[in-house]
């Protein structure tokens, strides 16, 4: 009989871009975390809590390996450890790629990871999502035409061609259905042309028909000859019933695996995948079976039924459910056995170790994988690609930009009506102060609105950024620079519309110099408010935390802006805080550019220029310094956003 451990699928589908089939082997993998304080308080003396305990195995090209086990068995943990996605805890053991030690920077270039949550940018189309991934992950020497043809091939493979121009949308709100998002998740990884693909519960949350479509996509992926590893919690009855729908078009060599029994739901895994390896884990992260399930689950059932104490499977019962039920900790205690020890003393384990040793040796005349750089594309190309996608997302984000523009126009008209012709009244101190007050109110309303609206947009996109950076698409620097740059034209349009409306209605001095100075100071003010909101989003773990920080800063900026209490009247020991507030410099620029050079006299006898100097401390000759300082504030907040994006990771795995 054919050795079930060494059997390898033959025959694969050809693709436009070739890839190197690779196997992944791992030996004695352990993973632990610091012991939780709650367990220490209960008397646990160990410093670490073990989640994976001495796992070994081999994943081969053209074979689907399913990691199965109950909750807490460590399926996703093992997947994350092998994929190099863990950023906390302690990993020990050896991981090899076709006989060579795994290097994470290299491994990210030849592997793909399909996350369970299907994280995608909502405001780009299916085709654009795939083009973006292919642009950044395929080798730089792949021509654009070839890249686009490969994207089309992948779309056909995962049956997304009819949805090419559909927006991805938000989960459970609009856009793609759940199973369509699952297929997009797989496609985004496939366009990178990986040799190894990890999938975390690809059928999670799907109904019968949707699961059938997704699993057909997984089967198509395996048929290309790639190494595919996926986790499954427990094969649901509905999901395996759904596989009946994909019988048409499947190679006839699979049909003998479809039994006429009620437990066909599990056996259809064999029907869909000519080679299915099952890596079965028990609670606590120990392996208890690693091998093929066999026709009608014969290998799996025979293995456990050879253990004398294990109850026999009933006719028509789902073998997957049965295997999970008879291997629980409660069953181990009841039968006084330990399935992990039984497996490690079995012939199956010895065959697996022999295979592991064989695959851990590099093939003759082979070389270790090497790439000249960490990323496929140069930093400039990364910047271009990120700017391309972000621009498309911004252009379609009507709830952000259109609403922001609408609020801008609305506030401009309201301020214009409320302070109609106020800028032309310059005869008394009260009239001057009213004009200053209008600038103060406009600055705060516009600035706060921009800072508040940009935060949720960036926080929502942050999970997408984490996924794309972990996949090795780009460095954080080009992404952050593109995000900073995209705000410039949108802010410029917003401010120009606002300035024209308000400046005309309020009746400020119509000279080119005065208007352009006013426009510049409004623009730089709204820009640093926006960048401040972006910085808080990057430096904060959550939206509520960012809102608290924003409220605190907003309070200080409001009090020390130089209008409620002129800087001249603030206590000397506290005056330094006022000069650290960018709003004071904005008020300086806006007010001084309009009033500080006027020599017309007030009814009180002093000139407007003298009043500005004596009451507010503003001088027209100091405007160039004010301009430099405001630009510096914008740059500082932009760099704070770039630093937070590049250096901080609030996603713990």
Q: What is the DSSP annotation of 112-160? A: EEE-TT----TTSBHHHHHHHHHHHHS-TTS-HHHHHHHHHHHHHHTT-
Longest CA span, the chain? 110
- Identify the band that residue 14 occupies on the pLDDT scale cut at 50, 70 and 90: low
pLDDT > 70 in the chain, percent: 91
- Which one, of 597, 444, 596, lies nearest residue 522 by Cα? 444
Per-residue pLDDT band at 5 (split at 50, 70, 90): very low
Same domain for 331 and 476?
no
Q: Check pLDDT > 60 for residue 262.
A: no
* Cα atoms in the 13 Å half-sphere on the side-chain side of 123: 17
Distance separating alpha carbons of residues 464 and 483, to the nearest angstrom: 13
70-74, 495-499, 519-523: least confidently modelled range:
70-74
Query: What pLDDT does 295 receive?
Result: 78
Dump pLDDT digits (tens) for 325-383: 999 999 998 888 999 999 999 999 999 999 999 999 998 888 888 888 889 999 999 99
What does residue 618 show for φ and ψ, rounded to 5 degrees?
-100, 135
In a domain, 296, yes or no: yes
pLDDT in tens, 107-147: 999 999 999 889 999 999 999 999 999 999 999 999 999 99
Q: From its phi and psi, is residue 255 left (phi > 0), alpha (psi between -120 and 50) or beta?
A: alpha
Domain end marker among 328, 359, 390: 359
Please choose, from the candidates 145, 118, 120, 150, the residue with its C-alpha nearest in 3D space to the C-alpha of residue 224.
Answer: 150
433 and 344 share one domain = no
Dist. CA 248–CA 257, nearest whole Å: 15
pLDDT at 263: 41
List C-alpha distances in Å: 325 to 2, 304, 313, 361: 29, 12, 10, 37
Same domain membership, residue 385 and residue 354: no
CATH number of the domain enclosing 348: 3.40.50.300
Cα separation, 58 vs 97, in Å, equals 10
| Mean pLDDT, residues 178-201 | 95
Judge contact between 59 and 27, C-beta under 8 A. Answer: no
Per the CB < 8 A criterion, the answer to whether 242 and 212 are in contact is yes
Residue 180 lies in a domain: yes
- All residues at 6 or more sequence positions from 525 whose CB lies less than 8 Å from its CB, including other chains: 443, 446, 447, 582, 583, 586, 589, 590, 630
Question: What does the pLDDT read at residue 398?
Answer: 87
Q: Are residues 383 and 354 in the same domain?
A: no
Contacts of 490 (CB under 8 A, 6+ apart): 394, 401, 404
Does one domain contain both 92 and 137?
yes
Terminal-residue alpha carbon distance, the chain:
43
Residue 347 and residue 415 share a domain? no
Residues counted in the chain: 653
**290 forms bridges with which residues in the sheet?**
279
Is 80 exceeded by the pLDDT of residue 261?
no
Quote the pLDDT of residue 414.
92
Main-chain dihedrals φ then ψ at residue 54, nearest 5 degrees? 60, 50
| Residue 493 CA from chain centroid, whole number | 29
Residue where one domain finishes, among candidates 327, 359, 391: 359
- Categorize the per-residue pLDDT at 6 as very low, low, confident or very high, splitting at 50, 70 and 90: very low
Together in a domain, 471 and 328: no
Measured between alpha carbons, how far is residue 284 from residues 29, 43, 335, 558, 643 in Å?
13, 19, 18, 55, 38
* Predicted pLDDT at 3: 42
Higher-confidence residue: 207 or 218? 218
Q: Do residues 196 and 342 share a domain? A: yes
Per-residue pLDDT reduced to its tens digit, 376-410: 999 999 999 999 999 999 999 988 888 888 989 99
For residue 19, being part of any structural domain is answered with no
Domain count, the chain: 2
289 DSSP β-pair partners = 280
Do both 290 and 248 map to the same domain?
Answer: yes
Same domain for 103 and 172?
Answer: yes
Mean pLDDT of the 239-252 span: 35
What confidence score (pLDDT) does residue 204 get? 82
Q: What angle do CA 488, 492, 498 make, to 5 degrees?
A: 150
The residue out of 325, 359, 393 marking a domain boundary is 359
| Cα(571)–Cα(239) distance, integer angstroms | 72
64 and 161 share a domain?
yes
Say how many C-beta atoms besides its own lie within 10 A of residue 464's C-beta: 15
The answer to the question of residue 92 being in a domain is: yes
Q: Does residue 368 form part of some domain?
A: no
Tell me, yes or no, whether 12 lies in a domain: no
CA-CA distance, 353 to 57, in Å (whole number)?
A: 8
Q: Does some domain include residue 17? A: no
The verdict on residue 609 lying in a domain is yes
Q: What is the pLDDT of residue 235?
A: 59
Lowest mean pLDDT: which of 270-284, 560-574, 634-648?
Answer: 270-284
**Shared-domain flag, residues 339 and 388:** no
Residues 6+ apart with CB under 8 A from 205: 178
Confidence of residue 514 (pLDDT cuts 50, 70, 90): very high
CB within 8 Å of 636: residues ≥ 6 apart: none
More confident site: 170 or 267: 170
pLDDT (tens digit per residue) in 556-592: 999 999 999 998 888 888 999 999 999 999 999 999 9
- Measure the CA angle with vertex 352, ends 351 and 355; round to 5°: 90
d(CA 138, CA 560): 52
pLDDT one-digit tens code per residue, 471-490: 999 999 999 999 999 999 99
What is the 3-class SS of 599-637, one letter each residue?
CCECCCCCEHHHHHHHHHCCCHHHHHHHHHHHHHHHHHH
Coil, helix or strand at residue 19:
coil
Angle at 182 between CA 177 and CA 183, to 5 degrees: 100
pLDDT bin (cut points 50, 70, 90) of residue 637 is very high
Residues near 501 by beta carbon (within 8 Å), at least 6 away in sequence: 409, 412, 413, 416
* pLDDT confidence band for 275 (50 / 70 / 90): low
Containing structural domain, residue 171: 24-359
Q: Burial level of 489, CB count in 10 A (0-12/13-18/19+)?
A: exposed
DSSP-derived 3-state class of residue 535: helix
User: At a CB cut-off of 8 Å and minimum separation 6, what does 477 contact?
Assistant: 379, 642, 646
- d(CA 573, CA 476) in angstroms, rounded, equals 41
| φ, ψ (nearest 5 deg) of residue 198 | -105, 135
Work out the average pLDDT over 74-90: 94
CA distance 504 to 9: 76
Whether 13 shows a pLDDT value over 80: the answer reads no
Angle between helices 208-223 and 178-190 (to 10 degrees): 10
Coil, strand, or helix at residue 91? strand
Q: Is the pLDDT of residue 496 over 70?
A: yes
424-469: per-residue pLDDT in tens?
A: 888 898 989 998 999 999 999 999 999 999 999 998 899 999 999 9
Band of pLDDT at residue 266, cut at 50, 70 and 90: very low
């Amino acid at each position: 009989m054919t050795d079930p451990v060494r059997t390898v699928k033959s025959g694969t589908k050809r693709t436009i871009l070739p890839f190197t089939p690779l196997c992944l082997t791992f030996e004695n993998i352990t993973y632990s975390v610091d012991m939780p304080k709650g367990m220490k308080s209960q008397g646990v003396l160990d410093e670490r809590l073990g989640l994976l305990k001495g796992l070994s195995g081999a994943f081969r090209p053209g074979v689907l390996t399913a990691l199965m086990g109950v909750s807490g068995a460590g399926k996703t943990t093992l997947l994350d450890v092998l994929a190099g996605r863990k950023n906390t805890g302690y990993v020990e053991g050896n991981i090899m790629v076709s006989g060579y030690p795994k290097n994470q920077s290299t491994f990210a270039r030849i592997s793909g990871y399909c996350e369970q949550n299907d994280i995608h940018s909502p405001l780009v189309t299916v085709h654009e999502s795939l083009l973006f991934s292919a642009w950044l992950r395929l080798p730089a020497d792949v021509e654009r035409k070839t890249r686009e043809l490969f994207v089309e091939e992948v779309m056909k493979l995962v049956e997304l061609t009819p949805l090419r121009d559909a927006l991805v949308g938000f989960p459970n709100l609009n856009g793609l259905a759940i199973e369509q998002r699952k297929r997009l998740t797989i496609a985004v990884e496939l366009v990178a042309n990986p040799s190894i693909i990890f999938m975390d519960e690809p059928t999670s949350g799907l109904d019968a028909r949707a699961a059938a479509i997704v699993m057909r996509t997984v089967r198509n992926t395996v048929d290309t000859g790639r190494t595919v590893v996926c986790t499954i919690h427990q094969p649901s009855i509905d999901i395996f019933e759904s596989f009946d729908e994909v019988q048409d078009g499947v190679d006839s060599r699979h049909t003998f695996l479809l039994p006429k029994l009620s437990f066909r739901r599990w056996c259809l895994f064999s029907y869909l995948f000519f080679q299915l390896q099952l890596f079965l884990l028990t609670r606590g992260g120990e392996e208890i079976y690693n091998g093929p399930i066999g026709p009608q689950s014969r290998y799996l059932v025979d293995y456990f039924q050879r253990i004398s104490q294990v109850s026999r499977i009933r006719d028509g019962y789902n073998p997957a459910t049965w295997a999970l039920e008879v291997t629980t900790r409660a069953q181990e205690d009841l039968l006084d056995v330990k399935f992990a020890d039984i497996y490690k003393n079995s012939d199956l384990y010895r065959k697996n170790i022999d295979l592991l040793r064989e695959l851990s040796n590099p093939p003759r005349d082979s070389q270790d994988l090497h790439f000249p750089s960490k990323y496929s594309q140069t930093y400039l190309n990364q910047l271009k690609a990120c700017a391309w996608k972000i621009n498309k997302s911004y252009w379609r984000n009507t709830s952000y930009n259109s609403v922001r523009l609408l609020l801008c126009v609305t506030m401009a008209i309201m301020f214009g009506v409320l302070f109609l012709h106020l800028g032309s009244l310059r005869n008394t101190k009260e009239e001057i102060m009213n004009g200053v007050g209008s600038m103060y109110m406009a600055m705060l309303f516009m600035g706060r609105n921009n800072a508040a609206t940009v935060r949720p947009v960036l926080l929502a996109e942050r999970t997408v950024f984490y996924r794309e950076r972990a996949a090795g698409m780009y460095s954080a620097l080009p992404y952050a620079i593109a995000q900073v740059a995209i705000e410039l034209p949108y802010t410029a349009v917003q401010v120009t519309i606002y300035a024209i409306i308000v400046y005309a209605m309020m009746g400020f001095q119509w000279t080119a110099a005065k208007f352009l100075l006013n426009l510049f100071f409004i623009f730089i003010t709204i820009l640093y408010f926006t960048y401040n909101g972006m910085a808080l989003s990057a430096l904060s773990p959550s939206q509520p935390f960012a809102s608290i920080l924003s409220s605190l800063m907003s309070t200080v900026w409001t009090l020390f802006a130089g209008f409620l209490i002129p800087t001249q009247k603030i206590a000397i020991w506290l005056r330094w805080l006022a000069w650290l507030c960018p709003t004071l410099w904005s008020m300086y620029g806006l007010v001084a550019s309009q009033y500080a050079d006027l020599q017309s006299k007030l009814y009180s006898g002093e000139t407007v220029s003298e009043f500005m100097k004596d009451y507010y401390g503003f001088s027209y000759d100091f405007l160039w310094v004010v301009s430099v300082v405001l630009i510096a504030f914008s740059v500082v907040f932009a760099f704070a956003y770039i630093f937070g994006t590049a250096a901080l990771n609030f996603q713990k795995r």
